[in-house]
Amino acid sequence: MLTIQQIKENPERVIERLAVKGFDGKDAINKIIELDDSRRALQLSNDTKAAELNKLSARIGALMKEGKKDEAEEAKAKVASMKQEQKETAERLAAAESEIRNLLSGIPLHFQQENEQGMLVHCKKCLIQLLVLNLVQ
């Protein structure tokens, strides 16, 4: 299966090679890149919220020790709100990851690549299949 890294490194080349296989991958590749950018932003947001929650949770403990229960209760309410936001972000992140996997699974696994001499070569699995077919015939 193609990886996101391969796609992002040279999307035009991937689209071109998929076209050789008879697969129009332009829309899928562009959507994967868009979803990956969104996924990365969501992951950063989720990580940032987790760090803020950790700090706020530690602050609640300190406030309770100091006897500032009102402030601690306000902080607890804020934590509950932030946890809900984090949950929603995590759900959107999971949806983006799932959609990326679905798009990637719809792209042909093996597409031809050119070697240094400009000859089309298949992956090892395809070569074995071709050899077996030639032996059977």
> What are the tens digits of pLDDT across the range 29-80?
999 999 999 999 999 999 999 999 999 999 998 999 999 999 999 999 999 9
Strand partners, 8: none
Extract the tokens encoding 96. Answer: 């983006």
Task: Answer for the pair 97, 39: CB distance below 8 angstroms, yes or no.
Answer: yes
Position 137 scores a pLDDT of: 41
- Tell me what pLDDT residue 91 has: 95
Secondary structure (3-state) at 120? strand
Pull the structure tokens for residue 109. Answer: 């696994």
What distance in Å separates the CA atoms of residue 132 and residue 137, rounded to the nearest whole number? 9
Per-residue pLDDT for 18 more than 50? yes
Average pLDDT over residues 84-108: 92
- Express the helix, strand and coil content of the chain in percent, nearest 5 each: 75, 5, 20
Query: pLDDT grade, residue 125 (50/70/90)?
Result: low
Average pLDDT, the chain: 82
Residues 6+ apart with CB under 8 A from 95: none
